[in-house]
Structures are given as C-alpha cells and as structure tokens.
Amino acid sequence: MKYIQSLQNPQVKQWKKLLTKKERDRSGTFLVEGYHLVEEALKHGEEVLEIIASEKVGVPPRLDVGSIPVTLVTEEISNSLSDTEAPQGIYAVCRQITREDVLQDAKSFLLIDAAQDPGNLGTMIRTADAAGIDAVIVGPGSVDIFNSKVLRSAQGSHFHLPIVRGDLHECIGKLKERMIPVYGTALEGASLYTDLSVGDSFALIVGNEGNGVDKDLLAHTTANLYIPIYGKSESLNVAVATGILLYYLKK
C-alpha cells in the first residue's frame, strides 16, 4: 500500500485538480468522497481506478476494494481533497463512463436543461434513479454532473444509471425518430400533466430554476406539461416538480 506524506507530491496535486471541471474533462475521471459514495462506487461502478484513505481512518473492512490500488495519506492531504465541513477521510477516483448507446437503447429519459444549482441537479438525478428512469441526459447549460455537490446530493445514483452530457436538441430529434414522446415542462401553453395518458417509453425535459426550459426546446417537443399551483406560491422547486412528473409518468 502506497503512503504519501507531502502535500507537494505530484499525485496529490493531480487528485486536487479533480476538484475542477477542466481536469475532470481532460482526464475523463472524477473524485467521490465519503463512505457512502465510495461504497456505491465499489458496489455498482465498474470503473473505480483507485482509493485514497486518510491514515487516521484507513480503509474500513466493510469496503470491498478487491485489487483496486489504495493509497494512505496524511490527515492534512486528506482534508485538502475535501470540500465538506466534516471530511470522512475516504475517496475514490472513478472513470467517467460515456455511453454513446443510451439514445439507442434506453426507453425512459430525464433531460435536464440548464440546472444551475448543484443540489437541485443531484436531487433530480437521485429522483430519476428512484423513479426507475433508464438514463439522464444533461444539457450544456447545466452545472457539471461530476461536481462534488452534485455527486453528494445524488447519493450514489451516478453509479446506478447512465448520467451523460448531451445536446438536448439532438436528443429530441433522435428520440422522436425512435417514436418516443418527448414532454417539456412549461407554465404557459401547456397541458395539465394529469390529462396525459402515458406509455412505457417517454422523455421528460425539466429546466432552469429561474427561466424554465428553453423555448427553442419546448417548440420541438411532443407536448408540454404543467403542474397546477393551487396556492399562492409562484412555482415549485425544479427537483420537486421533477419528482411529481416522473412518478406520474411511471405510474
């Protein structure tokens, strides 16, 4: 087992770079933190490249690391890799899985247009997982899908179903070729969601917290849906709206 003590070690510098989207994109990898996420990565992800553990905590016996290389580091190095207030001292470097075939094979989709808040994006991914959706496709205007807060809010769902980046215009075109209905969400010119009769295959597009789904996308959907507001609030949180719609569509 390797042991690193210096913050200046090139390997440590490389891990720290994974806190940036630029380096995650360049390397095609990402860093997950904490027992739960590392456990989920080991359980479901085929692509764990290495484990990093603080010497203070080590690798707990419940984690089945198999032949994956483990590096022990000092508490100081461990904390430098964390963006939480109470670091748990355990990390995994994972390979980003790109699945080009998602648009050909999957039957139910969540398409996310320009979600800005990492907590919301992670919660939407977790909700799609719970609802049994086959794949999540995230448009270019959204926060990075491998951002550490997104990973934390998604609670391991990144390892449960394909979460990929994609151009949503292209997605709509390809889904329609496959005769899969694509539903947008909108406040105006839309149909009451409960009036819809749904089949097994569908794609739902949910949008930006402030502005909703891009009008250019809404113009190309099969239909657009709205959730009624019965009280005085102006709107629903986008992750809550996603939950209401996905559970209605999956029913």
Which residues in the 17-46 window bind a copy of itself by CB under 8 A?
44
Q: DSSP character for 195? A: G
* Binding status of residue 250 toward a copy of itself by CB under 8 A: yes
Residue 208 engages a copy of itself in binding (rule: CB under 8 A): no
Structure tokens at 84: 């939480």
- Token digits of residue 39: 């456990």
Give me the least distance between CB of 238 and a copy of itself, in Å please: 10
What are the start-end ranges of the E strands in 48-101?
48-54, 70-73, 90-95
* Residue 251 sits in the site that holds a copy of itself (CB under 8 A): yes
Among 80, 155, 201, 222, binds a copy of itself (CB under 8 A): 155
Distant-in-sequence, close-in-space partners of 137: CB < 8 Å, separation ≥ 6? 102, 103, 109, 110, 111, 112, 164, 165, 166, 168, 171
The strand pairing partners of 191, in sequence order, are 225
Question: CA nearest 62: which of 78, 39, 41, 80?
Answer: 39
Q: Does 231 bind a copy of itself (CB under 8 A)?
A: yes
Of the pair 77, 125, the CB lying nearest a copy of itself is at 125
Scanning the chain, the segments in alpha helix (DSSP H) are: 10-17, 21-27, 35-44, 75-80, 102-105, 118-130, 148-154, 168-177, 215-218, 238-250
**Which of 58, 119, 162, 181 lies at the binding interface for a copy of itself (CB under 8 A)?**
119
CB of 126 to a copy of itself, least distance (A): 5
Pick the closer one to a copy of itself by CB: 79 or 194: 194
Q: How far is the CB of 170 from a copy of itself (least distance, A)?
A: 25
In whole angstroms, the minimum distance from the beta carbon of 125 to a copy of itself comes to 9
Residues that bind a copy of itself (CB under 8 A): 44, 119, 123, 126-133, 153, 155-157, 160-161, 194, 227, 229-237, 239-244, 247, 250-251
